[in-house]
Amino acid sequence: MDFFGGLRKSLSQRRFEGYGTRGNDLDAFAKYLWNIQLCESLCPSFQLLEVAFRNRTHREIANVLKHRHWISSEHGFLYQDEKDAIAKSKQVISLSGTPITEDCLIAEMKFGFWTALLNSKYETLWLKIVKEVFPNMPNAVGTRDQLSS
């Protein structure tokens, strides 16, 4: 089996076709490698976005609740999916032997937890914190729904 035949078999024909090269294996492979490089170059920006978003969101919710440890304690405003995510993160931290602190919990929570707080069920919360979490948000993106999208 030639190099590209093995590559097609490993990556799948469908994956290769996604690069729209009409059977040109070399071009498809070049685009695949370029895509990897592009993803690697974006990773630091996404990481910074995640950390900044979760930290600002946590801080502003803490300000509204007047309770810095709102994730590690029970607060009634969260829905079951988010409570389950917190419980899972507490379990992961506990299994690692690390004490469960608010800071560890904030860091352990997946990005999906934080973005779920943009869902419509948290509309009231976002009205209270949106300007602080997104201080430079353009006026054209003024609603929670637009942020969520």
SS3 content of the chain, % helix, strand, coil (to 5): 70, 0, 30
The rounded distance, in Å, linking the Cα atoms of 34 and 117 is 34
DSSP state of 122: G
Mean pLDDT within 3-23: 71
Task: Report the Cα–Cα distance between both ends of the chain, in Å, rounded.
Answer: 45
What digits encode the pLDDT tens for the residues 48-63? 999 999 999 999 999 9
Above 80 in pLDDT, residue 98?
yes
pLDDT class of 86 with cuts at 50, 70, 90: very high
User: ∠ CA(37), CA(39), CA(43), 5° rounding?
Assistant: 120
